[in-house]
Amino acid sequence: MKYHIVEEGGFCLIKVSGKTRKNEAVMAKGGLSPYLKEKGIKVIMDMKELEKFEPTLMGFLNSIRKEVNLLKGGLKLCSLKPEIMNYIRQNRLDHIFRIYENREMAKKSEWRGCV
């Protein structure tokens, strides 16, 4: 997977693209850690350009979620393809992750208590 990280209007926007690799969580930790430092950080993960879903993606997302939680911040996912959304619902992960249709809806939503 490739990551494009932008700080935009008080949000850390992470756009992911490409295919999920087998050890994505480990690889991502090193690349994203420098951006996940600010207490109370608001992270929006835009998955619109993700090409192929692999279940290892959940390990990656959970790793990011834990990092953000330690900072007392919030993580929201947006632009999920139906295949990913179905997997999340079937495995009851929609109780852990906040999911929005697009980036703008995620930005405008309530951020308090989203940890």
As a whole-number percent, the residues of the chain with pLDDT over 70 amount to 94
Q: Kindly report, residue by residue over 19-73, the tens digit of the pLDDT.
A: 887 777 676 767 787 888 889 999 999 999 998 888 888 888 988 899 899 999 9
**Residue 114: predicted pLDDT:** 53
Helix boundaries (H) for 38-81: 56-70
Q: Show the domains of the chain with their CATH numbers.
A: 2-108 (3.30.750.24)
Q: Tokens at residue 108, please?
A: 């405008």
